[in-house]
A = this chain, B = another copy of it.
Amino acid sequence: MNSATATIADWRIYPVNSLPVALQRQPDGVEVTWSDARVSLFHHLWLRDNCPCPACVYPVTREQMFEIVDAPDDLSALDAQLDGSGCLAVQWSDGHASLYHPGWLRAHAYDEQSRAEREQQASRPLLWRAEMNQQLAHFDYQEVMTRDDVLLQWLRALRDTGLTQIRNAPTANGSLDGLARRVAFIRESSFGVMFEVQSKVDADSNAYTAFNLPLHTDLPTRELQPGVQFLYCLRNDAEGGDSRFVDGFAVAEELRRLAPDSFDLLTRTPVEFRNKSARNDYRCKAPIIALNEDGSYREIRIANFLRGPFDAPTEVMPALYKAYRLFIQLTREPHLQLNRRLQAGEAWVFDNRRVLHARDAFDPASGERHFQGCYLDRDEWLSRLYVLERQA
């Protein structure tokens, strides 16, 4: 069943789980009936657009050379046949010929059933509450560094729950660099490629003080919040400074249940976040709770200490404060929180666009506390995950 030999203009693998068994010519396309009785119409323009032959797609890059705008307006199929391996062969009215792999074709079919199936198979976040204190996904540093299957497990945990811990890691200065680059290159910010989370006299962020930091996402002041944050503990001998996490999607879900109007307002109202210093002036206006078009959670954006003044119509302002205060109260609810003290050689790795993190105040005079941090963008760790899945 996997003997189909048409070119695939992709690096992913497309297994053949269902074969085309019949073709029906339509005025504007070819209708395929599959072995499981599904029926998919493929329009002529769609098929011509996706011809994988070496004249249409440059084989070295697997990127398209052909442009569908150059097809004639009256393009039609002179002939369409299934070959012995289940590939679809089309002869075009402009003289071109195309051959489509059945696994690829099925994976990209756009009939209602195929689209619904893809939608259903997409990964979804697993929301968590305080029980995460017992269920935290943790991974061994050496295993992550040396085994691709463990790396894949880790990245899937990050995708699904958004909060993971690495243990038994070296405590040499800069060890974080190797761990992060095991996944992808690091996203630089105005705070550097790697940042030192230490109390500084000339702090340009409250993160670089010994104060309590309330639950927040990092860099909500940038259009694209960093996707993953690493917080790597080299030394933690000071009193205080414990870590706190909360699943921002679970907080939003609680708000939706308790006060749907407040939830709705926070999904619709742009809030400006400001990261300002003598040398920088970042401003980003976006809602605190961002939803996808289907109503699922896209991201949470919040840091009280980086928030600019609310700017909303006068009549909306009281409701906005009600909603905001309710949201922040919920982030403080013990039944939603995970609390841990990080030890030297442990690192938090979490989805910064979903999981809020906080640090209790600490006493810099009581001992040394030295964390290093860095960011990777979501595109990068997802790309790594997808490539690992090709081999898995």
Contacts and interface: CB of A to CB of B under 8 A. Distances in A.
Interface of A: 10-12, 28, 41, 43, 45-46, 49-50, 58, 60-65, 67-69, 108, 110-112, 115, 118, 185-188, 190, 201-206, 209, 211, 214, 221-224, 270, 274, 276-284, 293, 304-307, 309-314, 317-318, 321, 324-325, 328-329, 332, 377-380, 382-383, 386-387, 390
Contact of A276 (B10, B111, B283): B10
Given A65-B305, A108-B311, A118-B311, 18 more contacts: A11-B278, A11-B281, A12-B281, A43-B318, A45-B317, A45-B318, A46-B310, A58-B211, A60-B201, A62-B276, A67-B304, A68-B304, A108-B309, A110-B314, A115-B311, A221-B379, A223-B379, A224-B377
Contacts of A284: 379
B321 A383 contact: no
Given A283-B386, A329-B69, A309 B46 contact: yes
Given A110-B314, A309-B108, A317-B43, A387 B280 contact: yes
Contacts of A332: 69
A375 to B, nearest CB: 12
A70 to B, nearest CB: 9
Given A281-B387, A314-B111, A328 B69 contact: yes
A326 B279 CA distance: 45
A68 B324 contact: yes
Contact of A115 (B110, B222, B313): B313
Oligomeric state, in copies: 2
A377 B185 CA distance: 16
Nearest to A206: B63
A305 B379 contact: no
Contacts of A209: 58, 60-61
Contact of A68 (B68, B321, B387): B321
Contacts of A211: 58, 65
A390 B324 contact: no
29 contacts: A11-B278, A12-B276, A45-B317, A46-B321, A49-B309, A60-B201, A60-B202, A61-B205, A61-B206, A62-B276, A62-B277, A63-B206, A65-B305, A68-B324, A68-B328, A69-B325, A69-B328, A69-B329, A110-B310, A110-B314, A110-B317, A112-B314, A185-B188, A187-B188, A224-B377, A279-B387, A280-B383, A281-B386, A282-B382
Contacts of A108: 309, 311
Contacts of A281: 11-12, 383, 386-387, 390
Nearest to A11: B276
A283 B118 CA distance: 15
A305 B64 contact: yes
Nearest to A189: B185
Contact of A222 (B279, B314, B379): B379
Contacts of A45: 317-318, 321
Contacts of A306: 63
Contacts of A270: 293
Contacts of A110: 310-314, 317
A63 B387 contact: no
Contact of A282 (B188, B222, B383): B383
A277 B11 contact: yes
Contacts of A204: 61
* Most chain B CB neighbours (cut-off 10 Å) among A45, A205, A209, A211: A45
A45 B314 CA distance: 12
Contacts of A202: 60
A390 B277 CA distance: 12
B65 A206 contact: yes
